[in-house]
Copies of this chain bind each other. A is one copy, B any other.
Amino acid sequence: MNNTKKAGRPRKFNRDEALLAAVNVFWAKGYDGASLKDLTEGMGINGPSLYATFGDKHALYLQAIDRYSTNDACAPLVAFESEQDITAAVRAFMVAAIDYATHHKSGARGCFLSACVATSAGEVEGVQPVLRQAIEDTDKRLAARFDLEKEKGTLAANFPSLERARLMFDLRQGHVFRARAGLDGDTMLSDLDQRTAMVLRFDEGV
């Protein structure tokens, strides 16, 4: 088979798009499960370009984690911070997380950090500190909003915002895990009103 491709050269690929595609490949297959072949095909570039642009597979992985952390992972956070009403904000955070975990356009389910990155945390150099930092940053960012609500008087002032933040984030964790397992998002959504109220009245009657 004389496979004589004309060898047309497309112009320089977009670095950020390629990195985003790498996230999706890692997300779907895991760090070890994603081969260079999977990555180059998914990213639409070839081996040498990948190595020239991102270093090696390990370096690409760390950059993919960073890209996800500072963009995609923030979607529920942004939804949370955008809503004026705190009840709507909490609900928006949960809805965004569930929707993202069950209807991502790449077809991958759950959360890149919760599944793929968490698995590699104990095995791949440099991953665990990044994951840990991502969690702590999210906790703090959620808590900041709760602090603001305390000042406004919409939340009890004597209850630690960080504890409330951890609660909300841990509930999200349950959702993305169920999504990864293939469970339906509707059941999660049907529990949302109860859970939202719970997060906001976490301090009462204890």
Which residues of A are in contact with B by a Cβ distance under 8 Å? 28-33, 108-110, 114-116, 118-123, 128-129, 131-132, 135-136, 163, 166-167, 169-175, 177-178, 180-183, 187, 191, 193-195, 197-198, 201-202, 204-206
Contact = CB atoms under 8 A, between A and B. Distances in A.
| Secondary structure dominating the interface of A | helix
A170 B173 contact: yes
The quantity of this chain's copies bound in the complex is 2
B174 A195 contact: no
B177 A114 contact: yes
Contacts of A171: 167, 170-171, 174
Contacts of A191: 163, 166-167
Nearest to A166: B191
Nearest to A170: B174
A167 to B, nearest CB: 7
Nearest to A173: B174
5 contacts: A115-B119, A118-B177, A131-B182, A135-B181, A197-B205
A201 B110 CA distance: 29
B181 A132 contact: yes
Contacts of A180: 118, 121-122, 131
Given A118-B180, A170-B171, 7 more contacts: A29-B32, A30-B31, A131-B182, A132-B183, A163-B194, A166-B174, A201-B206
A176 to B, nearest CB: 8
A205 B194 contact: no
A116 B169 CA distance: 21
Contacts of A30: 30-33, 119-120, 123
B166 A173 contact: no
Given A33-B32, A178-B135, A205-B205, A118 B115 contact: yes
A170 B175 contact: yes
A181 B123 contact: no
Q: Quick one: which of A171, A172, A173, A205 has the most chain B CB within 10 A?
A: A173
